[in-house]
Structure 1
Amino acid sequence: MAQATEFPRFSYKGSRLKPLRAFCQVARLGSISRAAEALFLSQPAVSLQIQALEREFGSRLFDRSGRRLTLTREGELLYEMARPLVEGLDGLEAAFREKLTGLDAGELHVAAGSSTILYLLPQIVGAFRAAHPDVRLTLHNVTGAGGLELLRSDKVDLAFGSMLDVPADLDYAPIHEFEPMLIMPPDHPLAAKQKIDLTDLSPYGLILPPQRLTTYRLIDLVFQRARVPYTVALEVGGWEVIKQYVAMGQGISIVTAFCITETDRARLATRSLAKFFPSRSYGVVKRRGKFLSPQARAFVDLIQPNLLAPRGYDQTGHSDR
């Protein structure tokens, strides 16, 4: 009787993919318990998989910092190598179906703040819809922290907005910069001055976004470092609301140049504060190592500086009129 030929057994799915997936989730979330919830596994099962990897590679992969697990140098190296493999295999079926349908179907979810959606995305959305009318596009109107939460949970494909500090698990590609602008009523005392110093703002109440937002924290940081006192007359969300209250004479404000329209120039006086405050960049945020869908890549390809510059401004944020 002929001896049966033995074929090699490829056990990567059982012996490699599961522990690597568990390792990547712990590295991303910083917690065994949170990784277990994300993987629908028990905590002991995840712990055993991490221990198996550490034995296999002969290296400690995590250090404990308080209640959070952080990657060791060896862990960072393994995460850099394993994450694209795990995400590529996990997304293989969806990527295959997207290749079959191309850009003629599918969905695209983008997270952005209200100001970004109102001022920066209309032309990009219009161009995308014209080129890919069968793709269902959803814009999730959320603040920075909310957008990052949606991004990390894979509820959106990408986010678009401004970032000062970029977490290690995310990639940020700035596309455009806009300078900070002082806005005030036309009859305001500061409107008669061509050159304004930071100390000139002290006597007047500022209308600012809520303290939890980056804009407020950045403005506060600049005043604190310059040791210039300031007062907040009103906290309110949204550039449109802020501009309306400034026009009513309720205070002055510091906004990003892209939100100033031609209509605003008829009711507000503006001065550049680029000498004192840094420009704000806006760009694309995605999870590090994540493969973008064809729909997401097509959307990103449309995000160019010439499409982001508001009418009446060049690409530095200065008026061209």
Structure 2
Amino acid sequence: MADRPPKAPSFAYKGDRMKPLRAFCQTARLGSVSRAADALYLTQPAVTLQLQALEREMGVRLLERTGRRLALTVEGEALYELARPLVEGLDGLDAAFRERVRGLDAGELNVAAGTSTILYLLPKIVEAFRAAHPDVRLTLHNVTGAGGLDLLRSDGVDLAVGSMIDVPGDLSYAPVYRFEPMLITPRDHPLAQKDDLTLQDLSPYGLILPPQRLTTYRLVDLVFHQNRVPYTVALEVGGWEVIKQYVSMGLGISIVTAICLTEADHERLAARSLARYFPSRSYGVVVRKGKYLSPQARAFTELIQPALFERADYYATGQSDR
């Protein structure tokens, strides 16, 4: 008797292959059966049964407990990589079909971004998007740090725009713009025209910095300590516009990212590059890996291109020292 071809796996549990795959993907993404159950509007036993059925059909263990979280095995990672686009594509099929039928001039788009990004980077992009797609309801969620990542992971927003240093494994970050670190002082300050500016030159002057919980403060502290240069903080205050105002009043000096410096600032401030000591800051698009991007989201990301690099290069070439 001729050998029969191997029988294809069949998902006997409720006769639906997508249900256990959907349960598996949610559990892998959230690290918990209870969270996956909440996301799927199911009971925990129902999700557990679907996971057990999937492991029986695949003949391997897909998940293992690591502390309080469930983690993927090597086989689980392989299946997750294959199944996630299928599940998310199917779950987004209805919305994608409606958007394809109606075209781009309908629907909504939710974008997470911090204050600096909304204020300095996005205006031209938003203007171009509104001109091209006036009927799309665009919402900018003013959130930073973990708040923006939580919105991404819970599908509260389609994408985020901002700066990232450490990128979690479940997110994808595509940097587009890069801005240099800048020292800002009043125009008549002794450091404004000093040749060969060093970190030691900043030591006698009080710094105006964002709150300690923010990346800028921690980076400034790290660089000064690594170079064994003492420094003092004259004032902690949130918001680049407030910091620039207080610097212009002579209340201290500050270290900012060039994204916040405009042509109008040169009437009251002197800006000097500190790229010798501090790394430049990138800004770009953050999405959840494997997430289906709506036509609106794709159209928005296509507008986030190096059109603003001219301004970034302006400060990067040292012309702001004038």
Task: State the TM-score, normalized to the length of structure 2.
Answer: 0.90
Q: C-alpha distance in 2, partners of 1:317/1:74?
A: 50
Q: C-alpha distance in 1, partners of 2:11/2:102?
A: 31
Q: Which residue of 1 aligns with 2:303?
A: 302
Q: C-alpha distance in 2, partners of 1:43/1:214?
A: 39
Q: Which residue of 1 aligns with 2:207?
A: 206
Amino acid in the other structure paired with 1:135: V
Between 294-303 and 32-41, report the one with greater CA deviation: 32-41
Q: Which residue of 2 aligns with 1:78?
A: 79
Q: C-alpha distance in 1, partners of 2:220/2:61?
A: 43
In structure 2, the residue corresponding to 1:64 is in which secondary structure? Answer: strand
Matches within 5 A, 1:1-321: 14-307=15-308, 309-310=310-311, 313-314=313-314, 316=316, 318-319=318-319
After superposition, the C-alpha distances for 1:122-163 in whole angstroms (9 at most, x for unaligned) are 111111111111111111111122111111111111110000
Instruction: Provide the aligned length of Structure 1 versus Structure 2.
Output: 312
- Cα distance, 1:212 vs structure 2: 2.2
- Cα distance, 1:49 vs structure 2: 2.1
Q: C-alpha distance in 1, partners of 2:310/2:46?
A: 51
Between 233-242 and 80-89, report the one with greater CA deviation: 233-242
Between 194-203 and 134-143, report the one with greater CA deviation: 194-203
In structure 2, the residue corresponding to 1:97 is in which secondary structure? Answer: helix
In structure 2, the residue corresponding to 1:215 is in which secondary structure? Answer: helix
Q: Which residue of 1 aligns with 2:7?
A: none
After superposition, the C-alpha distances for 1:36-76 in whole angstroms (9 at most, x for unaligned) are 22122222222222222222222222333321222222221
Q: Is the contact between residue 207 and residue 232 of structure 2 (CA under 8 Å) also seen in structure 1? A: yes
Q: Is the contact between residue 258 and residue 309 of structure 1 (CA under 8 Å) also seen in structure 2? A: no
Instruction: Please list every run of at least 4 consecutive aligned residues from structure 1 whose deviation after the TM superposition is greater than 6 angstroms.
Output: 9-13
Provide the identity percentage: 75
Q: C-alpha distance in 2, partners of 1:14/1:200?
A: 72
Q: Which residue of 2 aligns with 1:4?
A: none
Q: Is the contact between residue 23 and residue 50 of structure 1 (CA under 8 Å) also seen in structure 2? A: yes
In structure 2, the residue corresponding to 1:99 is in which secondary structure? Answer: helix
- Cα distance, 1:13 vs structure 2: 8.2
Q: Is the contact between residue 272 and residue 318 of structure 2 (CA under 8 Å) also seen in structure 1? A: no
After superposition, the C-alpha distances for 1:13-52 in whole angstroms (9 at most, x for unaligned) are 8432111111111211122222222122222222222222
- 1:89 to 1:204, Cα distance in 2 relative to 1, 3 A: same
Q: C-alpha distance in 1, partners of 2:88/2:32?
A: 19
In structure 1, the residue corresponding to 2:196 is in which secondary structure? Answer: coil
Q: Is the contact between residue 110 and residue 138 of structure 1 (CA under 8 Å) also seen in structure 2? A: yes
Q: C-alpha distance in 1, partners of 2:315/2:265?
A: 19
Q: Which residue of 2 aligns with 1:6?
A: none
- Cα distance, 1:316 vs structure 2: 4.4
After superposition, the C-alpha distances for 1:87-124 in whole angstroms (9 at most, x for unaligned) are 00111100110100111211111111111111111111
Q: Is the contact between residue 11 and residue 57 of structure 2 (CA under 8 Å) also seen in structure 1? A: no
- Cα distance, 1:214 vs structure 2: 2.1
> RMSD of the alignment, in Å?
2.2
Q: Which residue of 2 aligns with 1:5?
A: none
Task: State the TM-score, normalized to the length of structure 1.
Answer: 0.90
Q: Is the contact between residue 184 and residue 270 of structure 2 (CA under 8 Å) also seen in structure 1? A: yes
Between 71-80 and 114-123, report the one with greater CA deviation: 71-80
Q: C-alpha distance in 2, partners of 1:208/1:61?
A: 47
In structure 2, the residue corresponding to 1:228 is in which secondary structure? Answer: coil
Q: C-alpha distance in 2, partners of 1:306/1:298?
A: 15
Q: Is the contact between residue 258 and residue 317 of structure 1 (CA under 8 Å) also seen in structure 2? A: no
- 1:189 to 1:52, Cα distance in 2 relative to 1, 3 A: same
- 1:234 to 1:51, Cα distance in 2 relative to 1, 3 A: farther
After superposition, the C-alpha distances for 1:171-205 in whole angstroms (9 at most, x for unaligned) are 11111111100111123232231222122222222
In structure 2, the residue corresponding to 1:283 is in which secondary structure? Answer: strand
- 1:317 to 1:148, Cα distance in 2 relative to 1, 3 A: farther
